[in-house]
Amino acid sequence: MIGVIDYGMGNLRSVEQALEYLKTPHKKILTPDDLNDCLGLILPGVGAFGDCMNNLQKAGLISAIHEWVTADRPFLGICLGYQALFESSEESPGIPGLKLLQGRVVRFKLSTLKVPHMGWNTITITNPHSPIVYGLREQDSVYFVHSYYPEGLLDETVILHCTYGVTFAAAAGHKNLFGTQFHPEKSQRVGLKILENFIHLSHTALHS
C-alpha cells in the first residue's frame, strides 16, 4: 500500500491515476493514523510553501513525516512536496520547512526566463546509484511546473540536475528519502519508471 498525503494542495488525483495505471494499491493520508498499513509515502503538492507547511501542521502530519523518514521508510516528495523537504523558502519567509534536506528554496531571478518554468526539459543523472533513477537515460525529458527551486544542497544529496537559466537539483535525496521538482505523474515513460522504482523500493524495504 502506498500512501498519498492529502493536505488540500494540488495534484493528488494525477498521482493516484499514475498509481492506478501501475496497478498499485494506494490510499489517501489525512491523519497520522492512516499511515499504519503503508509501505511507501508520497507528498504531492502545487501551491504556496507557507500554505503547505501550515496545512501539514494542522493535520498533525509534520511529526509523523519526521518519524517515517527517521525510520528510513521510503518517502517521495513531488514539486511543492519536494520543496517542503528543505529548510525554508523565500516564498514564505519565517516559515520553516521539514528540514529533511539541507538547502533553501529560491525563485528564478533571471529576467530573460519565463517564470514559471513550465513544460518539458532534459535531466542529467548526477547520482546513477540512486534506486529512484534505475532505468533512466541521460537527457531523458520530464515535465516541470515551478517558479522556485532549491539551492545550497549537499552535493551527495543531488540525484538529477536540470538547467533553466541556472542549473538546479531536479531531484535529491538520501537513503530512502527522495524528492523531484518535476512531476513524475505527468512525465510519461520516464516519470512512470521513477514511480515504479519507488514502489519497488517500498516493497523491498519491508524485507530489508
The catalytically annotated residue of 79, 91, 146, 162 is: 79
Grid cell for residue 17? 491515476
16 is catalytic: no
Q: Measuring CA to CA, which residue among 145, 147, 139 is closest to residue 113?
A: 147
Grid cell for residue 140? 531523458
Q: Measuring CA to CA, which residue among 197, 175, 168 is closest to residue 184?
A: 197
87 is catalytic: no
For residue 30, the SS3 value is coil
Report how far residue 96's alpha carbon sits from residue 98's, in angstroms, rounded to the nearest whole number: 7
138 is catalytic: no
The catalytically annotated residue of 26, 117, 146, 183 is: 183
Report how far residue 193's alpha carbon sits from residue 173's, in angstroms, rounded to the nearest whole number: 17
Distance of CA 183 to the CA centre of its chain: 8
Grid cell for residue 91? 516564498
Grid cell for residue 165? 537559466
The catalytically annotated residue of 16, 38, 117, 185 is: 185
Ordered alpha helix ranges (H), the chain = 12-21, 49-58, 62-70, 80-83, 188-205
* Active-site residue set: 79, 183, 185
